[in-house]
Structures are given as structure tokens and as C-alpha cells.
Amino acid sequence: MVLAGTCNPWFFRTGIILFRKRFPCSPSAPELDLARVDANFRSWLAPSFLFRRIGPREYAFREKFIQFTLFSYTPLMHGHIRIDEQEGTVTVAGRAYWCILAFGLFIFGFGFMGRNEFLLVLFLYVGLYAIQAYRFNRVGGFVSGMLSEPPDDEVIHRNNMTLGRKMG
């Protein structure tokens, strides 16, 4: 959890991938506005996401550890966003928190669970995954939308003026 708390790049780039989805974006996409992304995923209903830049066109995100919300859950994954300008894609990957998976394997491996308990824990893990997969999908959709937006009117006007001078 220390590596997640410090947004260590190695931690967010390696591990077992439980979720991966690609989204389209503009090949000439601007740098991601983290303040805007952060503001969009701030919530009192469920844990807010914390976003950090970990490299060129790479971002890490995870649920905030301490936050008072109406609904809370134990995350199974932490997120990694990679923007590939040549492919024109945004890839969102969710990698497993080792401690959560190890806990389930520990309980199952030492025989603390019978069949019914195992099914209950499996159902719980599937539910946690579904919640996070839904939220990670929303992150990817939002980032893709931000990086696919047409430039504002001022930029269009400036580009048209430059183009007009070159042609005229």
C-alpha cells in the first residue's frame, strides 16, 4: 500500500491486469488536464479517484484511501492510463492489488472456507470487480472525450488566419 500511496511508477506499470480497455483519441491530443479529470471524479457518494502523472503521457490513479463517503468498498485494482499518440488511443488498465488477492488465496488455501464460504467470497470479489470495472470504464471514456474534443474557437480562428496567410 506504500507504493500505491506514493504513486510509484513501477507499481502502477506492473502486475496482473484484471481490466484493460482502449478508447479512441485525437492523434494530436493535448496534454491531459489532471485538474479537470480530478474534479470530474470527486464524489461524496463513492471514493474519489486520485490522479498523478508518472511519465510522459502516462498517469496513475487509485481510490483515495481515507475519505468519508456514503458508499465505500475495498478496491481490487489500481489504474494506469497510457496515451499513445501514434495509435490515437487511450488505454486504461486495472492491475490487481496483491494484498487483496493474497488474502483470498490465504483464506482459501488454509481451508478456512468451505464451499459456501468460498462462493460468498467469490461473489464478493466479482461484485467489487464489477464496481471498479464500471468506474475505470468511465475514466477511460472521460479522458478519451477530453482528448478528442475539437479545439476551442480561438484556436480554430488562429489556425485559419495562419492558413490564410500561407495560401494568400
pLDDT, tens digit, for every residue of 84-98?
Answer: 988 999 999 999 988
**What integer is the mean pLDDT of 155-167?**
47
Of the pLDDT bands very low, low, confident and very high (cuts 50, 70, 90), residue 111 is low
Among 32, 65, 66, which residue's Cα sits nearest to residue 139? Answer: 32
Question: Residue 98: its pLDDT value, please?
Answer: 81
Which pLDDT score, from 0 to 100, does residue 161 have? Answer: 47
Q: Is 14 exposed, middle or buried (0-12, 13-18, 19+ CB in 10 A)?
A: exposed
Say if strands 89-96 and 77-84 run parallel, antiparallel, or are unpaired: antiparallel
Asked whether residue 99 carries a pLDDT value surpassing 80, the answer given is no
- Name the average pLDDT for the chain: 82
Q: 3 pLDDT band (50/70/90 cuts)?
A: low
% of the chain residues with pLDDT over 70: 80
Backbone angles phi, psi at 34, to 5 degrees: -65, -35
Read off the pLDDT of each residue in 111-140 and give the average, rounded to a whole number: 87
**pLDDT by residue (tens digit) across 22-73?**
999 988 878 889 999 999 998 888 888 999 999 999 999 999 877 777 778 8
- DSSP codes, 27-86: TTPPPP-HHHHHHHT--SSSPPEEEEEEETTEEEEEE-SS---SS----SEEEEEEEETT
CA distances from 165 to 42, 146, 155 (A): 45, 30, 16
Does the pLDDT of residue 1 top 80, yes or no?
no
Region 105-132 average pLDDT: 81
Per-residue confidence band for 150, with pLDDT thresholds at 50, 70 and 90: low
